[in-house]
Structure 1
């Protein structure tokens, strides 16, 4: 299962598929991990900059979850997988990229 999202900030377009892996019958526990792609030529990305990509996960029984992934060296993506719980197996889970900012 996957959810998609995209955002453009300062000329950097990031598109992503967020991988959702879950189990359960009534509600589900899901692990959400970003699998992001730059939608621009990587040569146009500052190799010395660190990009913080903030995204919001919807569908958790306690409400939206906000997470941040860091992109550095044009290709290195660092993130912590998120574990969410849904109230039922039919709950729609979605992810929205809400911000991309440059550090450095």
Structure 2
């Protein structure tokens, strides 16, 4: 399959999921960027600069973390594995929440 078609299908899937969970505005933007397959290996610190925020938050890293917490809570309600770790520090290799 053509990779551009595959990428478009993945994007459409993420948009459908964002709609299903009721993510709008900044939560929508954070969800689409964080869970895009091409961004799996990116850290939140590097990804935060790529997100088009509705407003210009003073602390973009904190804004992303707040939006991700909203997203994780909704996904967990639907049976996804626990995404917010109770253990501080980095996740194990290949165990980032967005990869799960």
Question: Is TM-score (shorter-chain normalized) higher than 0.5?
Answer: no
> Structure with the greater relative contact order (CA < 8 A, sep ≥ 6): 1 or 2?
1
Query: Highest Rg: 1 or 2?
Result: 1
More helix by share: 2
Give TM-score scaled by structure 2 length.
Answer: 0.30
TM-score, reference length from structure 1: 0.29
More strand by share: 1
